[in-house]
Structure 1
Protein backbone atom coordinates (compact mmCIF):
# COMPACT_ATOMS: atom_id res chain seq x y z
CA UNK A 1 0.00 0.00 0.00
CA UNK A 2 1.22 3.49 -0.83
CA UNK A 3 0.80 6.60 1.31
CA UNK A 4 0.96 9.96 -0.48
CA UNK A 5 2.02 13.22 1.17
CA UNK A 6 1.69 16.54 -0.59
CA UNK A 7 2.16 20.26 -0.10
CA UNK A 8 2.43 23.18 -2.52
CA UNK A 9 5.97 22.21 -3.53
CA UNK A 10 6.41 18.46 -3.20
CA UNK A 11 4.62 15.15 -3.54
CA UNK A 12 6.08 12.14 -1.70
CA UNK A 13 4.96 8.52 -2.00
CA UNK A 14 5.90 5.95 0.64
CA UNK A 15 5.28 2.22 0.37
CA UNK A 16 4.24 0.46 3.58
CA UNK A 17 6.67 -2.34 2.67
CA UNK A 18 9.83 -1.18 4.36
CA UNK A 19 8.27 2.28 4.88
CA UNK A 20 10.26 3.04 1.74
CA UNK A 21 10.17 6.37 -0.06
CA UNK A 22 9.48 5.38 -3.67
CA UNK A 23 8.78 8.78 -5.21
CA UNK A 24 9.53 12.44 -4.56
CA UNK A 25 8.30 14.92 -7.14
CA UNK A 26 8.46 18.66 -7.60
CA UNK A 27 6.50 20.18 -10.48
CA UNK A 28 5.82 16.62 -11.68
CA UNK A 29 9.58 15.95 -12.02
CA UNK A 30 10.75 12.74 -10.32
CA UNK A 31 13.83 12.92 -8.10
CA UNK A 32 13.88 9.36 -6.67
CA UNK A 33 15.23 6.43 -8.67
CA UNK A 34 12.47 4.42 -10.36
CA UNK A 35 13.74 1.01 -9.17
CA UNK A 36 14.45 -0.52 -12.57
CA UNK A 37 15.50 -4.11 -11.75
CA UNK A 38 17.96 -4.12 -14.65
CA UNK A 39 20.14 -1.99 -12.38
CA UNK A 40 18.70 -2.02 -8.85
CA UNK A 41 15.11 -2.73 -7.84
CA UNK A 42 14.90 -0.47 -4.78
CA UNK A 43 14.39 3.26 -4.27
CA UNK A 44 15.31 4.33 -0.75
CA UNK A 45 15.41 1.35 1.64
CA UNK A 46 15.81 1.64 5.41
CA UNK A 47 18.82 -0.18 6.83
CA UNK A 48 18.13 -1.77 10.23
CA UNK A 49 19.25 -3.39 12.53
CA UNK A 50 22.58 -3.40 10.71
CA UNK A 51 24.16 -1.35 7.97
CA UNK A 52 26.22 -3.26 5.44
CA UNK A 53 27.40 -6.85 5.73
CA UNK A 54 28.35 -9.05 8.67
CA UNK A 55 31.42 -11.25 8.47
CA UNK A 56 30.22 -14.65 7.22
CA UNK A 57 26.70 -13.20 7.39
CA UNK A 58 26.38 -13.87 11.11
CA UNK A 59 27.09 -12.68 14.65
CA UNK A 60 27.19 -14.21 18.12
CA UNK A 61 25.08 -13.31 21.12
CA UNK A 62 24.89 -15.22 24.42
CA UNK A 63 26.68 -18.24 22.96
CA UNK A 64 24.33 -18.49 20.00
CA UNK A 65 24.95 -17.68 16.34
CA UNK A 66 22.44 -15.58 14.38
CA UNK A 67 22.20 -15.09 10.62
CA UNK A 68 21.49 -11.55 9.48
CA UNK A 69 21.45 -10.54 5.82
CA UNK A 70 23.05 -7.42 4.39
CA UNK A 71 21.45 -4.19 5.63
CA UNK A 72 19.08 -6.10 7.93
CA UNK A 73 15.42 -6.99 7.57
CA UNK A 74 13.40 -3.79 8.10
CA UNK A 75 13.31 -3.04 4.39
CA UNK A 76 11.62 -6.40 3.67
CA UNK A 77 8.78 -6.08 6.20
CA UNK A 78 5.46 -4.27 6.08
CA UNK A 79 5.17 -1.35 8.49
CA UNK A 80 2.00 -0.26 10.27
CA UNK A 81 0.65 3.18 9.40
CA UNK A 82 0.18 4.92 12.74
CA UNK A 83 -0.72 8.42 11.57
CA UNK A 84 -1.28 10.17 8.27
CA UNK A 85 -1.79 13.83 7.53
CA UNK A 86 -1.55 15.77 4.31
CA UNK A 87 2.12 16.50 4.86
CA UNK A 88 3.17 13.91 7.47
CA UNK A 89 3.04 10.15 8.03
CA UNK A 90 4.25 7.88 10.84
CA UNK A 91 5.14 4.24 10.19
CA UNK A 92 6.08 1.61 12.80
CA UNK A 93 7.56 -1.87 12.89
CA UNK A 94 7.94 -3.98 16.03
CA UNK A 95 9.92 -7.04 16.95
CA UNK A 96 8.18 -10.41 16.77
CA UNK A 97 8.84 -14.11 17.06
CA UNK A 98 9.97 -14.01 13.45
CA UNK A 99 12.48 -11.16 13.88
CA UNK A 100 13.80 -12.83 17.05
CA UNK A 101 15.12 -15.65 14.88
CA UNK A 102 17.61 -13.18 13.43
CA UNK A 103 17.81 -10.45 16.07
CA UNK A 104 16.81 -11.42 19.63
CA UNK A 105 15.98 -7.95 20.91
CA UNK A 106 12.64 -6.32 21.72
CA UNK A 107 12.44 -3.14 19.62
CA UNK A 108 10.14 -0.69 17.92
CA UNK A 109 11.24 1.23 14.84
CA UNK A 110 9.32 4.33 13.78
CA UNK A 111 9.83 6.22 10.52
CA UNK A 112 8.35 9.72 10.32
CA UNK A 113 8.13 11.55 6.99
CA UNK A 114 7.35 15.28 7.02
CA UNK A 115 7.02 17.70 4.11
CA UNK A 116 7.82 21.37 4.70
CA UNK A 117 8.06 23.69 1.71
CA UNK A 118 10.63 22.07 -0.61
CA UNK A 119 12.06 19.78 2.11
CA UNK A 120 11.35 16.19 3.07
CA UNK A 121 12.53 15.24 6.55
CA UNK A 122 12.97 11.55 7.36
CA UNK A 123 13.18 10.80 11.07
CA UNK A 124 14.06 7.46 12.65
CA UNK A 125 13.09 6.51 16.19
CA UNK A 126 14.46 3.27 17.64
CA UNK A 127 13.12 2.15 21.03
CA UNK A 128 14.59 -0.65 23.12
CA UNK A 129 11.55 -2.24 24.77
CA UNK A 130 13.65 -4.94 26.39
CA UNK A 131 15.45 -5.16 29.71
CA UNK A 132 18.97 -5.54 28.32
CA UNK A 133 21.21 -3.34 26.20
CA UNK A 134 20.51 -3.50 22.46
CA UNK A 135 23.17 -3.12 19.74
CA UNK A 136 22.03 -1.76 16.39
CA UNK A 137 22.86 0.34 13.37
CA UNK A 138 20.51 2.37 11.23
CA UNK A 139 20.81 4.20 7.95
CA UNK A 140 19.16 5.57 4.86
CA UNK A 141 19.81 4.55 1.25
CA UNK A 142 18.07 7.14 -0.96
CA UNK A 143 18.81 6.81 -4.67
CA UNK A 144 18.42 10.00 -6.67
CA UNK A 145 17.40 9.83 -10.32
CA UNK A 146 19.84 11.40 -12.75
CA UNK A 147 18.32 12.38 -16.07
CA UNK A 148 21.46 13.75 -17.70
CA UNK A 149 24.82 12.17 -18.51
CA UNK A 150 26.36 10.84 -15.30
CA UNK A 151 29.57 12.84 -15.74
CA UNK A 152 27.56 16.09 -15.86
CA UNK A 153 26.89 15.70 -12.13
CA UNK A 154 29.12 16.40 -9.16
CA UNK A 155 28.85 16.40 -5.38
CA UNK A 156 29.47 19.58 -3.41
CA UNK A 157 30.54 19.03 0.19
CA UNK A 158 29.87 21.84 2.63
CA UNK A 159 33.20 21.66 4.50
CA UNK A 160 35.36 18.77 3.30
CA UNK A 161 38.43 19.38 1.15
CA UNK A 162 39.16 15.66 0.74
CA UNK A 163 37.43 12.35 1.42
CA UNK A 164 39.06 9.32 3.01
CA UNK A 165 37.22 6.35 1.54
CA UNK A 166 37.48 2.77 2.82
CA UNK A 167 37.44 -0.03 0.29
CA UNK A 168 35.23 -3.09 0.52
CA UNK A 169 36.70 -6.58 0.28
CA UNK A 170 34.05 -9.25 -0.28
CA UNK A 171 31.52 -6.73 1.07
CA UNK A 172 33.57 -6.28 4.27
CA UNK A 173 35.47 -3.14 5.24
CA UNK A 174 39.16 -3.48 4.49
CA UNK A 175 41.98 -1.37 5.92
CA UNK A 176 42.77 -0.04 2.46
CA UNK A 177 41.85 3.60 1.95
CA UNK A 178 41.80 6.05 -0.93
CA UNK A 179 41.97 9.79 -0.41
CA UNK A 180 39.91 11.73 -2.94
CA UNK A 181 41.02 15.33 -3.24
CA UNK A 182 38.14 17.71 -3.84
CA UNK A 183 38.33 20.78 -6.06
CA UNK A 184 36.52 23.68 -4.39
CA UNK A 185 34.78 21.04 -2.23
CA UNK A 186 33.46 19.29 -5.37
CA UNK A 187 33.72 15.65 -6.42
CA UNK A 188 32.99 15.15 -10.15
CA UNK A 189 31.02 11.94 -10.64
CA UNK A 190 32.28 9.14 -12.85
CA UNK A 191 31.50 5.44 -12.87
CA UNK A 192 35.18 4.66 -12.35
CA UNK A 193 34.83 5.87 -8.74
CA UNK A 194 32.64 2.84 -8.02
CA UNK A 195 34.65 0.07 -9.68
CA UNK A 196 35.13 -1.51 -6.23
CA UNK A 197 31.56 -0.90 -5.07
CA UNK A 198 30.53 1.89 -2.69
CA UNK A 199 32.66 4.70 -1.29
CA UNK A 200 32.59 4.28 2.51
CA UNK A 201 33.38 7.40 4.53
CA UNK A 202 33.73 6.95 8.28
CA UNK A 203 34.32 10.60 9.10
CA UNK A 204 32.82 13.57 7.35
CA UNK A 205 33.16 17.25 8.17
CA UNK A 206 30.19 18.31 6.05
CA UNK A 207 26.61 18.22 7.27
CA UNK A 208 25.23 19.19 3.87
CA UNK A 209 25.95 17.69 0.46
CA UNK A 210 24.55 18.97 -2.82
CA UNK A 211 24.17 17.09 -6.04
CA UNK A 212 25.07 19.58 -8.77
CA UNK A 213 23.80 19.17 -12.33
CA UNK A 214 26.04 21.03 -14.77
CA UNK A 215 27.30 23.03 -11.81
CA UNK A 216 23.84 24.04 -10.56
CA UNK A 217 22.05 22.79 -7.39
CA UNK A 218 19.85 19.78 -8.08
CA UNK A 219 19.28 18.04 -4.72
CA UNK A 220 20.65 18.75 -1.25
CA UNK A 221 20.84 16.29 1.63
CA UNK A 222 21.37 17.42 5.23
CA UNK A 223 22.97 14.73 7.38
CA UNK A 224 22.55 16.36 10.80
CA UNK A 225 24.04 13.93 13.34
CA UNK A 226 24.78 11.03 10.97
CA UNK A 227 28.55 10.38 11.29
CA UNK A 228 29.06 8.00 8.35
CA UNK A 229 28.28 8.17 4.65
CA UNK A 230 28.03 5.74 1.77
CA UNK A 231 28.07 6.87 -1.87
CA UNK A 232 27.09 4.30 -4.46
CA UNK A 233 25.82 3.55 -7.92
CA UNK A 234 26.06 0.71 -10.43
CA UNK A 235 27.90 0.89 -13.72
CA UNK A 236 25.89 2.84 -16.32
CA UNK A 237 22.96 3.25 -13.90
CA UNK A 238 21.24 6.67 -13.99
CA UNK A 239 21.18 7.21 -10.23
CA UNK A 240 23.42 8.12 -7.30
CA UNK A 241 22.89 7.04 -3.70
CA UNK A 242 23.85 9.33 -0.83
CA UNK A 243 23.48 7.18 2.27
CA UNK A 244 23.54 8.65 5.80
CA UNK A 245 24.57 5.93 8.24
CA UNK A 246 25.09 5.17 11.90
CA UNK A 247 27.41 2.22 11.35
CA UNK A 248 28.82 0.29 8.40
CA UNK A 249 29.94 -3.19 7.33
CA UNK A 250 32.00 -5.48 9.51
CA UNK A 251 35.72 -5.25 9.03
CA UNK A 252 37.69 -8.23 7.80
CA UNK A 253 38.98 -8.54 11.39
CA UNK A 254 35.52 -8.67 13.02
CA UNK A 255 35.15 -10.88 16.10
CA UNK A 256 31.48 -11.62 15.43
CA UNK A 257 30.43 -9.98 18.70
CA UNK A 258 27.80 -7.40 17.74
CA UNK A 259 28.56 -5.32 20.85
CA UNK A 260 32.17 -5.00 19.66
CA UNK A 261 31.29 -4.10 16.08
CA UNK A 262 32.90 -0.87 14.93
CA UNK A 263 30.36 1.94 14.53
CA UNK A 264 27.61 0.08 16.41
CA UNK A 265 25.14 1.95 18.63
CA UNK A 266 24.22 0.55 22.05
CA UNK A 267 20.78 1.47 23.36
CA UNK A 268 19.96 1.02 27.05
CA UNK A 269 16.78 -0.71 28.18
CA UNK A 270 13.58 1.33 27.70
CA UNK A 271 15.51 4.12 25.93
CA UNK A 272 14.75 5.69 22.53
CA UNK A 273 17.28 6.82 19.94
CA UNK A 274 16.30 9.51 17.43
CA UNK A 275 18.04 10.68 14.29
CA UNK A 276 17.00 12.33 11.03
CA UNK A 277 18.13 13.63 7.66
CA UNK A 278 16.54 16.00 5.19
CA UNK A 279 16.22 16.09 1.43
CA UNK A 280 15.84 19.48 -0.25
CA UNK A 281 14.68 19.74 -3.85
Structure 2
Protein backbone atom coordinates (compact mmCIF):
# COMPACT_ATOMS: atom_id res chain seq x y z
CA UNK A 1 0.00 0.00 0.00
CA UNK A 2 1.15 3.55 -0.80
CA UNK A 3 0.34 6.64 1.27
CA UNK A 4 0.26 10.07 -0.36
CA UNK A 5 0.33 13.13 1.90
CA UNK A 6 0.23 16.88 1.78
CA UNK A 7 -0.34 18.82 5.02
CA UNK A 8 -3.46 17.35 6.72
CA UNK A 9 -4.56 15.42 3.62
CA UNK A 10 -3.91 11.73 3.06
CA UNK A 11 -4.66 9.30 0.27
CA UNK A 12 -4.12 5.54 0.45
CA UNK A 13 -3.62 3.49 -2.70
CA UNK A 14 -3.51 -0.31 -2.85
CA UNK A 15 -2.32 -1.77 -6.18
CA UNK A 16 -3.83 1.15 -8.07
CA UNK A 17 -7.09 1.25 -6.11
CA UNK A 18 -7.84 4.42 -4.16
CA UNK A 19 -8.86 2.95 -0.81
CA UNK A 20 -8.83 6.10 1.30
CA UNK A 21 -8.92 9.90 1.17
CA UNK A 22 -9.01 11.84 4.42
CA UNK A 23 -8.78 15.52 5.27
CA UNK A 24 -8.11 16.62 8.84
CA UNK A 25 -9.05 13.14 10.05
CA UNK A 26 -12.32 12.86 8.11
CA UNK A 27 -12.49 9.85 5.75
CA UNK A 28 -14.45 10.44 2.54
CA UNK A 29 -14.11 7.03 0.84
CA UNK A 30 -16.18 3.90 1.42
CA UNK A 31 -14.09 1.32 3.26
CA UNK A 32 -13.66 -2.29 2.20
CA UNK A 33 -15.52 -4.62 4.53
CA UNK A 34 -18.30 -2.11 5.12
CA UNK A 35 -21.77 -2.98 3.78
CA UNK A 36 -22.50 -2.09 0.17
CA UNK A 37 -19.58 -2.95 -2.09
CA UNK A 38 -16.37 -4.96 -1.89
CA UNK A 39 -14.24 -2.20 -3.47
CA UNK A 40 -13.53 1.49 -3.00
CA UNK A 41 -12.88 2.37 -6.63
CA UNK A 42 -12.45 0.70 -10.02
CA UNK A 43 -12.54 1.56 -13.73
CA UNK A 44 -15.10 0.46 -16.33
CA UNK A 45 -13.39 -0.13 -19.70
CA UNK A 46 -13.64 -0.72 -22.65
CA UNK A 47 -17.40 -1.03 -22.10
CA UNK A 48 -19.80 0.15 -19.42
CA UNK A 49 -22.83 -1.84 -18.42
CA UNK A 50 -24.23 -5.37 -18.48
CA UNK A 51 -23.65 -7.81 -21.33
CA UNK A 52 -25.40 -10.99 -20.12
CA UNK A 53 -28.55 -10.55 -22.24
CA UNK A 54 -26.31 -10.14 -25.30
CA UNK A 55 -24.53 -13.42 -24.57
CA UNK A 56 -21.55 -11.46 -23.23
CA UNK A 57 -20.74 -10.37 -26.80
CA UNK A 58 -20.04 -6.82 -27.97
CA UNK A 59 -19.59 -5.83 -31.60
CA UNK A 60 -16.51 -3.87 -32.73
CA UNK A 61 -15.08 -2.95 -36.17
CA UNK A 62 -12.58 -5.78 -35.67
CA UNK A 63 -15.21 -8.38 -34.84
CA UNK A 64 -16.95 -9.66 -31.73
CA UNK A 65 -15.41 -9.14 -28.28
CA UNK A 66 -16.35 -11.18 -25.22
CA UNK A 67 -16.94 -8.82 -22.28
CA UNK A 68 -18.61 -9.16 -18.90
CA UNK A 69 -20.25 -6.31 -16.99
CA UNK A 70 -18.18 -3.11 -17.18
CA UNK A 71 -15.46 -4.67 -19.37
CA UNK A 72 -12.23 -6.53 -18.69
CA UNK A 73 -9.88 -3.83 -17.37
CA UNK A 74 -10.94 -4.47 -13.76
CA UNK A 75 -9.72 -8.07 -14.08
CA UNK A 76 -6.17 -6.96 -14.90
CA UNK A 77 -3.48 -6.01 -12.35
CA UNK A 78 -1.89 -2.56 -12.26
CA UNK A 79 1.87 -2.04 -12.45
CA UNK A 80 3.30 0.84 -10.42
CA UNK A 81 5.47 2.87 -12.78
CA UNK A 82 6.28 5.97 -10.69
CA UNK A 83 5.77 7.30 -7.19
CA UNK A 84 6.50 10.36 -5.05
CA UNK A 85 5.21 11.78 -1.75
CA UNK A 86 2.18 13.30 -3.49
CA UNK A 87 1.42 11.11 -6.52
CA UNK A 88 1.48 7.57 -7.87
CA UNK A 89 1.14 6.41 -11.47
CA UNK A 90 -0.03 2.95 -12.52
CA UNK A 91 -0.26 1.16 -15.86
CA UNK A 92 -2.17 -1.75 -17.38
CA UNK A 93 -1.13 -3.20 -20.75
CA UNK A 94 -3.29 -5.43 -22.90
CA UNK A 95 -2.41 -7.42 -26.05
CA UNK A 96 -5.21 -7.84 -28.58
CA UNK A 97 -6.98 -11.18 -28.28
CA UNK A 98 -5.34 -12.15 -24.98
CA UNK A 99 -7.64 -14.12 -22.70
CA UNK A 100 -8.34 -12.56 -19.29
CA UNK A 101 -9.79 -14.74 -16.53
CA UNK A 102 -13.26 -13.58 -15.50
CA UNK A 103 -13.62 -13.48 -11.69
CA UNK A 104 -17.43 -13.60 -12.02
CA UNK A 105 -17.29 -17.12 -13.49
CA UNK A 106 -19.02 -19.43 -12.70
CA UNK A 107 -21.19 -17.93 -9.93
CA UNK A 108 -22.30 -14.78 -11.77
CA UNK A 109 -21.27 -15.35 -15.38
CA UNK A 110 -21.21 -18.00 -18.08
CA UNK A 111 -17.93 -16.74 -19.55
CA UNK A 112 -14.70 -18.07 -18.09
CA UNK A 113 -12.46 -15.79 -20.16
CA UNK A 114 -12.81 -12.33 -21.71
CA UNK A 115 -10.99 -10.71 -24.63
CA UNK A 116 -10.80 -7.51 -26.70
CA UNK A 117 -9.57 -7.26 -30.33
CA UNK A 118 -7.29 -4.22 -29.81
CA UNK A 119 -3.99 -3.54 -28.03
CA UNK A 120 -4.18 -0.81 -25.41
CA UNK A 121 -2.34 0.79 -22.51
CA UNK A 122 -4.32 2.31 -19.65
CA UNK A 123 -2.63 4.73 -17.25
CA UNK A 124 -4.06 5.89 -13.92
CA UNK A 125 -2.46 8.69 -11.92
CA UNK A 126 -3.54 9.65 -8.41
CA UNK A 127 -2.25 12.98 -7.11
CA UNK A 128 -2.97 14.64 -3.79
CA UNK A 129 -3.12 18.44 -3.71
CA UNK A 130 -3.81 21.08 -1.10
CA UNK A 131 -7.07 21.77 -2.95
CA UNK A 132 -8.19 18.16 -3.31
CA UNK A 133 -7.45 14.86 -5.01
CA UNK A 134 -6.86 14.35 -8.74
CA UNK A 135 -7.46 11.01 -10.47
CA UNK A 136 -6.51 11.08 -14.15
CA UNK A 137 -6.60 8.48 -16.90
CA UNK A 138 -4.82 8.18 -20.24
CA UNK A 139 -5.70 5.63 -22.91
CA UNK A 140 -3.14 4.76 -25.58
CA UNK A 141 -4.22 2.52 -28.46
CA UNK A 142 -4.55 2.50 -32.22
CA UNK A 143 -6.42 5.36 -33.82
CA UNK A 144 -10.10 4.51 -34.21
CA UNK A 145 -10.40 1.99 -31.38
CA UNK A 146 -13.95 2.03 -29.96
CA UNK A 147 -14.37 2.36 -26.21
CA UNK A 148 -16.39 3.55 -23.26
CA UNK A 149 -14.87 4.69 -19.97
CA UNK A 150 -16.34 5.01 -16.52
CA UNK A 151 -14.74 5.72 -13.16
CA UNK A 152 -16.44 3.98 -10.22
CA UNK A 153 -15.53 5.52 -6.81
CA UNK A 154 -17.58 4.86 -3.67
CA UNK A 155 -18.03 7.54 -1.01
CA UNK A 156 -18.81 6.96 2.65
CA UNK A 157 -22.06 8.37 4.05
CA UNK A 158 -22.57 9.15 7.71
CA UNK A 159 -25.73 11.28 8.00
CA UNK A 160 -29.35 10.17 7.67
CA UNK A 161 -30.33 12.33 4.70
CA UNK A 162 -27.35 13.07 2.44
CA UNK A 163 -28.03 14.54 -0.98
CA UNK A 164 -26.38 15.14 -4.32
CA UNK A 165 -26.70 18.40 -6.25
CA UNK A 166 -26.18 18.42 -10.02
CA UNK A 167 -27.24 20.89 -12.71
CA UNK A 168 -29.47 22.70 -10.22
CA UNK A 169 -31.19 19.49 -9.17
CA UNK A 170 -31.18 18.03 -5.66
CA UNK A 171 -31.13 14.22 -5.58
CA UNK A 172 -31.88 12.33 -2.37
CA UNK A 173 -30.37 9.02 -1.33
CA UNK A 174 -33.87 7.53 -1.48
CA UNK A 175 -34.08 8.39 -5.18
CA UNK A 176 -30.77 6.63 -5.87
CA UNK A 177 -31.81 3.56 -3.87
CA UNK A 178 -35.13 3.39 -5.75
CA UNK A 179 -33.45 3.05 -9.16
CA UNK A 180 -31.54 -0.04 -8.04
CA UNK A 181 -28.91 -1.80 -10.12
CA UNK A 182 -29.53 0.28 -13.26
CA UNK A 183 -28.10 3.36 -11.47
CA UNK A 184 -29.59 6.83 -11.66
CA UNK A 185 -28.43 8.73 -14.74
CA UNK A 186 -27.37 12.37 -14.41
CA UNK A 187 -26.97 13.46 -18.06
CA UNK A 188 -24.89 16.29 -19.52
CA UNK A 189 -23.11 16.97 -16.25
CA UNK A 190 -19.46 17.49 -15.31
CA UNK A 191 -19.80 18.61 -11.68
CA UNK A 192 -21.59 17.16 -8.66
CA UNK A 193 -21.67 18.18 -5.00
CA UNK A 194 -22.21 15.51 -2.36
CA UNK A 195 -23.53 16.88 0.93
CA UNK A 196 -22.96 14.55 3.87
CA UNK A 197 -21.28 15.34 7.18
CA UNK A 198 -18.96 17.40 4.98
CA UNK A 199 -19.39 18.61 1.40
CA UNK A 200 -17.44 17.11 -1.46
CA UNK A 201 -17.27 18.50 -5.00
CA UNK A 202 -16.55 16.07 -7.87
CA UNK A 203 -15.55 17.69 -11.18
CA UNK A 204 -14.68 15.90 -14.41
CA UNK A 205 -12.91 16.49 -17.71
CA UNK A 206 -13.59 14.32 -20.76
CA UNK A 207 -16.61 12.50 -19.34
CA UNK A 208 -20.16 13.29 -20.43
CA UNK A 209 -22.37 12.47 -17.47
CA UNK A 210 -22.68 10.56 -14.17
CA UNK A 211 -24.35 7.46 -12.78
CA UNK A 212 -25.36 7.31 -9.10
CA UNK A 213 -25.61 3.87 -7.51
CA UNK A 214 -26.01 2.28 -4.12
CA UNK A 215 -28.03 -0.45 -2.45
CA UNK A 216 -27.24 0.59 1.14
CA UNK A 217 -27.55 3.84 3.14
CA UNK A 218 -23.90 4.03 4.24
CA UNK A 219 -22.28 4.65 0.83
CA UNK A 220 -22.95 6.03 -2.65
CA UNK A 221 -21.06 5.58 -5.91
CA UNK A 222 -20.76 8.77 -7.99
CA UNK A 223 -19.53 7.51 -11.34
CA UNK A 224 -18.35 9.73 -14.23
CA UNK A 225 -19.15 8.00 -17.53
CA UNK A 226 -18.78 8.58 -21.26
CA UNK A 227 -22.06 6.72 -21.95
CA UNK A 228 -25.09 5.60 -19.93
CA UNK A 229 -25.45 1.89 -20.85
CA UNK A 230 -29.20 1.62 -20.25
CA UNK A 231 -29.87 4.16 -23.00
CA UNK A 232 -29.80 1.22 -25.46
CA UNK A 233 -30.65 -2.48 -25.39
CA UNK A 234 -27.82 -4.75 -24.29
CA UNK A 235 -27.39 -6.29 -27.75
CA UNK A 236 -26.82 -2.75 -29.07
CA UNK A 237 -24.33 -1.69 -26.43
CA UNK A 238 -21.79 -0.93 -29.17
CA UNK A 239 -23.90 2.12 -30.06
CA UNK A 240 -22.41 3.83 -27.01
CA UNK A 241 -18.82 3.59 -28.21
CA UNK A 242 -16.74 6.62 -29.00
CA UNK A 243 -13.60 6.20 -31.09
CA UNK A 244 -10.07 6.99 -30.06
CA UNK A 245 -8.58 9.92 -31.95
CA UNK A 246 -4.86 10.57 -32.41
CA UNK A 247 -4.12 7.24 -30.66
CA UNK A 248 -4.75 8.62 -27.16
CA UNK A 249 -7.38 10.17 -24.93
CA UNK A 250 -7.19 11.76 -21.48
CA UNK A 251 -9.79 12.06 -18.70
CA UNK A 252 -9.71 13.58 -15.23
CA UNK A 253 -11.70 13.55 -12.00
CA UNK A 254 -11.05 16.06 -9.22
CA UNK A 255 -12.42 15.42 -5.73
CA UNK A 256 -12.40 18.52 -3.54
CA UNK A 257 -13.67 18.95 0.05
CA UNK A 258 -15.50 22.18 0.87
- Please state which band the TM-score falls in when normalised by the shorter chain: 0.7 to 0.9
Partners in 2 of 1:44 and 1:253 — Cα distance?
24
* Cα distance change of structure 1 residues 199 and 63 upon mapping to structure 2, 3 Å threshold: closer
Paired residue for 1:208, among 162, 176, 191? 191
Q: Given the alignment of the two structures, is residue 226 of structure 1 paired with residue 207 of structure 2, yes or no? A: yes
* Cα distance change of structure 1 residues 187 and 120 upon mapping to structure 2, 3 Å threshold: same
Deviations 1:4-41 (A, max 9, x none): 2111132111121xx22111111222211112365310
> Match of 1:31?
28
Give the conservation status (yes or no) of the 8 Å contact 1:91–1:110: yes
Paired residue for 1:238, among 206, 211, 218? 218
Partners in 1 of 2:225 and 2:114 — Cα distance?
24
Partners in 1 of 2:49 and 2:176 — Cα distance?
21
* Cα distance change of structure 1 residues 186 and 67 upon mapping to structure 2, 3 Å threshold: same
TM-score (norm 1): 0.77
Q: Given the alignment of the two structures, is residue 156 of structure 1 paired with residue 165 of structure 2, yes or no? A: yes
> In structure 2, the residue corresponding to 1:23 is in which secondary structure?
strand
Partners in 2 of 1:84 and 1:57 — Cα distance?
37
Cα deviation for residue 65 of structure 1 reads 3.6
Partners in 2 of 1:277 and 1:101 — Cα distance?
28
> In structure 2, the residue corresponding to 1:109 is in which secondary structure?
strand
> Match of 1:88?
87
> Match of 1:125?
138
Tell which deviates more after alignment, 4-13 or 94-103. Answer: 94-103
Structure 1, unpaired ranges of 5+: 162-184
Partners in 2 of 1:272 and 1:195 — Cα distance?
34
Cα deviation for residue 267 of structure 1 reads 1.2
RMSD over aligned Cα atoms: 2.4
Cα deviation for residue 120 of structure 1 reads 0.6
Cα deviation for residue 145 of structure 1 reads 0.3
Aligned length: 240
Deviations 1:204-254 (A, max 9, x none): 2x432111137xx521101233112100101x3400111001123262274
Paired residue for 1:266, among 243, 250, 256? 243
Alignment of 1:71-82 (within 5 A): 71-82=70-81
Structure 2, unpaired ranges of 5+: 101-112
Cα deviation for residue 87 of structure 1 reads 0.6
Cα deviation for residue 196 of structure 1 reads 3.4
Alignment of 1:182-193 (within 5 A): 185-190=169-174, 193=177
Q: Given the alignment of the two structures, is residue 115 of structure 1 paired with residue 91 of structure 2, yes or no? A: no
Partners in 2 of 1:275 and 1:65 — Cα distance?
26
Give the conservation status (yes or no) of the 8 Å contact 2:204–2:252: yes
